[in-house]
Structure 1
């Protein structure tokens, strides 16, 4: 899998195409900020990466679609993707075209017909990545997953901040979960697992799972058999305590105990009547009403009695006054006969005067009131007796209702107790049923033992077939081969510790120089030129093995600005415009030439057909270097994005036809 073209489309429908040699060294050189480093981001974006990592600037503002044409043996595949809409940070929409020869389509024909998942599946299949699952031990909490083309990104891109990084060897190694993903998938990409490994692993996992389950069942059945009598007698005792089994001597045999327990499972709970909570509420309301009525009657009685006491005093006084008046003949004439009865005054003496008439009227009124008081007393006594009778009736009704309430509460308490007893009995019956269901007779134990033996033999056979131990040995062997190649490339670049053998440390994802005194990992070394040599040595050695042994790894390597370590400062390197004169004047020319010479020989002689794409500021006058240039040095302009392209709102491509 190589890169033939990278194409970008403007919002106005214009396109820009950068074509590469699908085999050999490709160099894109030029001044800073011309879009060279964005080429690898575009390739990654069009390999099924949804995250949009294109740098800010014209490459984002002026480009509507990005596309890459990949070269496979006998086939070309175009993957095109639009820029994310609005301020979105990702896009999974894609367009796919396949054919013996594929040309960049015009802007009007760009439309979605796939997504990133489809892109990943297609490229993984064309690359030859076999059906696989990563191996995860049962003690680990992480999930197993399938290796795809997305797991080759780690080995395809050596970007500007990575190429001379002493702490990080692989692309995206510093991201969460990525180190373990590299360790899990690199053995698959190196071809360590056999072709039928996925099927064997599936069968082995299933057999181990069945073996573990059967062993557990055998253990439980054995323990059950050993504790049968103890557990059975315990359950019988509990059944007697809740009243669902009559008390009797314990069964003498296991069979008798099991038969008794089996009979208990037919127990049915007694019917529980409904609680009459409504009746209790009614009685409580009636009692409250009677008590209120009794309070009112008592208050009436007390008021009547107080009135009677006061009336007794008033009546006595009134009768005494009446007697006095009668003794002295208060009225001048007798009320009945009309005879004159004042002995101290002549008959009708001066009674015609107003004063005499008023006095006579007052005396008559007083006499009438005295007679009324005496006459009402029998009615007051009768009213008091009536109120007392009412209070007695209320007390009788209250006692009757309170007795009814007590009976209702007692009935509900009995109902609750009955329900609790049934619930306890039901729990015991449930435990007995579970006990009987898990009971295994001796013939079941024999069957479990035979099944365990059978599964143990199957697991052993599958482990032999899967060649797990052989795979580990093969991985160690392959890593040794790659490590030997690393030492060669490090020596060629004359890096420190090149006199010692180097090895690829998959556990720590770094390279290590094995000195006799002690090993020296990359992060314990100094100098950007050394770190560059270790990075290139590891990447070239890895691709040399995968390419020549036809392993499922893309046949290209992107290297971004490797010669920056050979310039006196970062500022000088960034100021370089890709001219030969600046390179010869400002850099360590011999080391620059040696680095590019090694890359050129690798793609032309060691791995003919392999593709290396280098984005750079340096330029050499050597013919082999000049023939490796993809375009004239980018000096803004020309550059990746033409200056005249507008950065207006994107013109939407024609949407895919709606299915009918």
Structure 2
């Protein structure tokens, strides 16, 4: 991921003072050198805070008392972005942030005002990194550690603060806490390229298909179980059909086979309750009249349904035209102001009536707005109003619906009157309702009774699901993922083997490898025994392995297409392991620790040489070192000296401090 630091910005509480800007150079080794307590170790917490950290780790007192907002300008594939966040005061953090984007951004001279939130910034960074929205556990049973990767997780590869850079027990930023350590273990195959976003998507699809397959298999089994039971009840279905008058007594012989029973039942599925009625000769006059009214009711109901559908469609069309016309008018009214402003801009003394400024820089924007207004007006002219004939037709359809409704109500009133007079009709109505219910159950039952092994369409769906699962699983080979992961780690090991001889490592020739299960370095000696980093003594060794591992990982990330890891590495106080132990015991506030003998100076110089070479060999990598070591140590190494914080100069200007403020 193309992500480099252009500037670090501080805004003071005193709004009469301008911002403090520290500028960096892209694709280079940038160094800030200075004495103790000048703010070097606050740089990583400031960057981290502006990138959406959960809490503010910027040191209290001097820095937070003097600053109201902290910001960074980053260079990305989308251009530059200014990310600023308010000093939290008495809180652990605040979500108030300011975001400014563009090809290049201009740092505001005044204190920013909130226009976004930390959560929105984190979502923007996730999208910028191209991270998958899917978690690592499709089943959702593994807890939060298996959640989706985030940009915040990737900062483990960007920062080496003072307590980490030469730590024998912790290799990565924030990996000293269980939460971050477990999440880092989870995402490591992803950042190494062993598990790609496509693989994650396939895993999720496999899990969803498995759930769907299990559900359909359960339903198919239920159908097969039910069919066994219903086959034994075929005769009872036939008996009930006879009792309801749907089958004649001699329609099915007593010794009929299973297929004959099914054929008889299939023959009655298309019948209705009217077919179960006794003949007309046995009906009285009231029953005949009621039957005629029922037929008339059915015809009128169908006619009413058609009219209601037409009325609903006409009403929707009328509302849609009205809404679209209103939207065009509102858009035209809003854009009308642009013509007035352009007319003002074209006059010799044209100035903005709001702020009094000139229009020179806004001509392009005004022309674009006027063009948009012209397009809206053209669209409005092309939109024909609903003709008057439509309203007339709508009135007629509504009137027709009322007439048909009145007719239907009249028929139903006559039916109720007849039913109240005729007990025979009431009894027959109940009988017909029973027939209708039986036919409904019979139709559904036959679908299973005709297919003893279940619905064939259902079985076909299951076959399709199984085929798709096989196809997906073929692309989810664990062996292939392990091969990709092994190849990535071997590349990191080769880079470490190349770098370690140039650093101050006692075992430079022993093979070293990154162990992602324990998140540490493992070194194999001539005896064949692997030793973990915490088993190897000397701060110089720890520092060497940290530097080699970080460069090895960034070399891998930059070689990948679309790696989400930011191409930034910040190291705080890498030379601390070479400070004389006696000096560390007696150091006082303001002391500037110096290195010991010439061997220590040479060892620190080799670190700077290695880091500078890494930025040249890995195009797109930016490294920032915050250290006591001065230019006398790294000399002619290709380094961009950002600033030297000594002799009263520090991260926070003296003028911002309460004791010196005017």
Fold match by TM threshold 0.5: yes
What secondary structure sits across from 1:167 in the alignment? coil
**1:494-513 equivalent positions in 2, closer than 5 A:** 494-513=504-523
From 47, 53, 71, give the equivalent of 1:67.
Answer: 71
From 52, 57, 69, give the equivalent of 2:56.
Answer: 52
Q: Structure 1 unaligned runs (5+)?
A: 232-251, 260-432, 649-660
**1:134-149 equivalent positions in 2, closer than 5 A:** 134-136=135-137, 138=139, 140-143=141-144, 144-149=146-151
Q: Please give the per-residue CA displacement for 1:483-528, whole angstroms capped at 9, x wherever unaligned.
A: 2212322332242333221111111111111334321111222221
Q: Structure 2 unaligned runs (5+)?
A: 234-254, 266-440
Q: Is the 8 A contact 1:637 1:643 kept in 2?
A: yes
What secondary structure sits across from 2:625 in the alignment? strand
Q: Is the 8 A contact 1:579 1:618 kept in 2?
A: no
Q: Please give the per-residue CA displacement for 1:376-415, whole angstroms capped at 9, x wherever unaligned.
A: xxxxxxxxxxxxxxxxxxxxxxxxxxxxxxxxxxxxxxxx
Provide the C-alpha distance between the structure 2 equivalents of 1:518 and 1:583, rounded to a whole number of angstroms: 35
CA 1:226–1:512 in 2, change beyond 3 Å: closer, same or farther? farther
Match of 2:132 in 1: 131
**1:395-410 equivalent positions in 2, closer than 5 A:** none
The alignment's TM-score, normalised by the length of structure 2, stands at 0.61
What secondary structure sits across from 1:478 in the alignment? helix
Q: Is the 8 A contact 1:32 1:575 kept in 2?
A: no
Provide the C-alpha distance between the structure 2 equivalents of 1:95 and 1:611, rounded to a whole number of angstroms: 25
User: 1:552 Cα deviation (Å)?
Assistant: 2.1
Match of 1:458 in 2: 468
User: 1:89 Cα deviation (Å)?
Assistant: 0.5
Provide the C-alpha distance between the structure 2 equivalents of 1:149 and 1:228, rounded to a whole number of angstroms: 59
Q: Does residue 522 of structure 2 align to residue 531 of structure 1?
A: no
- Size of the aligned set, in residue pairs, is 448
Provide the C-alpha distance between the structure 1 equivalents of 2:511 and 2:594, rounded to a whole number of angstroms: 36
What secondary structure sits across from 1:70 in the alignment? strand
CA 1:39–1:472 in 2, change beyond 3 Å: closer, same or farther? same
**CA RMSD across the alignment:** 3.6
Provide the C-alpha distance between the structure 1 equivalents of 2:550 and 2:86, rounded to a whole number of angstroms: 31
Q: Tell me which structure has the larger Cα radius of gyration.
A: 1
From 83, 93, 98, give the equivalent of 1:95.
Answer: 98
Provide the C-alpha distance between the structure 2 equivalents of 1:579 and 1:610, rounded to a whole number of angstroms: 33
Q: Please give the per-residue CA displacement for 1:68-107, whole angstroms capped at 9, x wherever unaligned.
A: 00012461110111111x4110111111111122121012
Provide the C-alpha distance between the structure 2 equivalents of 1:626 and 1:200, rounded to a whole number of angstroms: 46
Match of 2:117 in 1: 115
The worse-fitting range, judged by mean Cα deviation, of 610-619 and 175-184 is: 175-184
Q: Does residue 565 of structure 2 align to residue 553 of structure 1?
A: yes
What secondary structure sits across from 1:477 in the alignment? helix
Q: Does residue 80 of structure 2 align to residue 79 of structure 1?
A: no
Provide the C-alpha distance between the structure 2 equivalents of 1:526 and 1:642, rounded to a whole number of angstroms: 40
What secondary structure sits across from 1:558 in the alignment? strand
What secondary structure sits across from 1:54 in the alignment? coil
CA 1:597–1:579 in 2, change beyond 3 Å: closer, same or farther? farther
Q: Is the 8 A contact 1:30 1:576 kept in 2?
A: no
What secondary structure sits across from 1:134 in the alignment? coil
What secondary structure sits across from 2:641 in the alignment? coil
Q: Please give the per-residue CA displacement for 1:17-73, whole angstroms capped at 9, x wherever unaligned.
A: 111112211111111111101001111111122411111221111110001000124
Provide the C-alpha distance between the structure 2 equivalents of 1:154 and 1:639, rounded to a whole number of angstroms: 27
CA 1:522–1:130 in 2, change beyond 3 Å: closer, same or farther? same
The alignment's TM-score, normalised by the length of structure 1, stands at 0.61
**1:231-246 equivalent positions in 2, closer than 5 A:** none
From 25, 33, 36, give the equivalent of 1:21.
Answer: 25
Q: Is the 8 A contact 2:28 2:621 kept in 1?
A: yes
What secondary structure sits across from 2:106 in the alignment? coil
Provide the C-alpha distance between the structure 1 equivalents of 2:481 and 2:31, rounded to a whole number of angstroms: 39
What secondary structure sits across from 1:107 in the alignment? coil
Match of 2:624 in 1: 613
Q: Please give the per-residue CA displacement for 1:397-455, whole angstroms capped at 9, x wherever unaligned.
A: xxxxxxxxxxxxxxxxxxxxxxxxxxxxxxxxxxxx9xx99x96524265554443332
Match of 2:651 in 1: 640
Match of 1:244 in 2: none
CA 1:454–1:608 in 2, change beyond 3 Å: closer, same or farther? closer
Q: Does residue 159 of structure 2 align to residue 151 of structure 1?
A: no
**1:310-349 equivalent positions in 2, closer than 5 A:** none
Q: Is the 8 A contact 2:575 2:627 kept in 1?
A: yes
Provide the C-alpha distance between the structure 2 equivalents of 1:223 and 1:519, rounded to a whole number of angstroms: 60
What secondary structure sits across from 2:164 in the alignment? coil
Provide the C-alpha distance between the structure 1 equivalents of 2:9 and 2:20, rounded to a whole number of angstroms: 6
What secondary structure sits across from 1:498 in the alignment? coil
Q: Please give the per-residue CA displacement for 1:243-263, whole angstroms capped at 9, x wherever unaligned.
A: xxxxxxxxx99x99xx9xxxx
